Amino acid sequence: MRLANFQWDGERRLGVVEHDHIIDLSSSALPPNTVDLIGQWDRVQVNHAVTQGTRRQLDEARLLAPLVLRKDVIAVGRNYRDHAREFSDSGFDASEKQMIPDHPVIFSKATSSVIGPDDPIVLANDPTNTTDYEGEMAVVMGRPARNVSRGDALDHVFGWTIVNDVTARDLQKKHVQWFVGKSPDTFCPMGPWITTIDELPDIRASWMRTTVNGELRQEAPIEALIFDVESLIVTLSEVMTLEPGDVIATGTGKGVGIGFDPPRYLATGDVVEVSIDGIGTLRNPVI
């Protein structure tokens, strides 16, 4: 199932995407927002609601980020070897102690940075003009997770989405802690929807690709993650309760703008597309 949020009659609505249609669930008995729905997933009749919902043409609906987060996006840095190497070679990480980390490098992005598919990434929000893209697979948590074992970790996953971990590189460097450079408004495109784990049980078999104006910049298999989904959930749930609707962006592959010499940062008029097999394509213009 592909769970989406879309705008209709001026309001945010919950929907399920099937081919070129979106089924409007707003008149069903389901909780009206995605995070509550995920929290009650085992107890509600989603399939029934889908059969009763109004079908609308997908291209007539404006998709939004698939959920309204209640906690900052949890994100993982340097989680692909090739990218860790290019990033290290760029000399940009002021906090780096070793190229390939022994433990996951985990930071957060402000909820206020989240935008939906086709929403513009606004370069004016980065005063340093060093805005870069990072295509990433993101985990959407399902059942609450605290102290879960590796073997149980995927039972707590609701599904997968796509995040573009847009970054102001000079801010990332200057402020040492990454929060500021990762959190300008509009710097967390998310979507186009959440593909549930039953529809895509083996995310490791998928590939992630990022294009800028149609030119392929990043191409990485999810199975190349240094710290895989299970390992990230084990690490985080050792210290905190992961809650329904929490989002973990799992890290980017080789080919970010800072990896080029000279760097190829985003510019006005660019279009960035991040695609993951089995999920879809997240497209955002740059203004």
Residues that bind Mg ion (CB under 5 A): 134, 165, 252
Q: Which residues contact 95 (CB under 8 A, 6 or more apart)?
A: 176, 177, 178
Query: Closer to Mg ion at the Cβ: 134 or 228?
Result: 134
Two structure tokens written together for 283? 């497209």
Query: Closer to Mg ion at the Cβ: 145 or 208?
Result: 208
Minimum CB–partner distance for residue 178 and Mg ion (Å): 9
- Per-residue buried b or exposed e for 220-234, using 16+ beta carbons within 10 Å of the residue's own CB: bebebbbbbbbbbbb
Instruction: Determine the residue with CB nearest Mg ion.
Output: 165
Two structure tokens written together for 16? 């399920």
On whether the CB atoms of residues 274 and 209 are closer than 8 A, the answer is yes
Query: Closer to Mg ion at the Cβ: 37 or 272?
Result: 272
Minimum CB–partner distance for residue 46 and Mg ion (Å): 31
| The 280-285 sheet, strands edge to edge | 215-221, 207-212, 271-276, 280-285
Residues 223, 42: Cα–Cα separation, whole Å:
29
Minimum CB–partner distance for residue 184 and Mg ion (Å): 14
Minimum CB–partner distance for residue 83 and Mg ion (Å): 9
Minimum CB–partner distance for residue 104 and Mg ion (Å): 12
Helix (H, G, I), strand (E, B) or coil at 110: coil
Query: Closer to Mg ion at the Cβ: 211 or 252?
Result: 252
Query: Closer to Mg ion at the Cβ: 54 or 125?
Result: 125
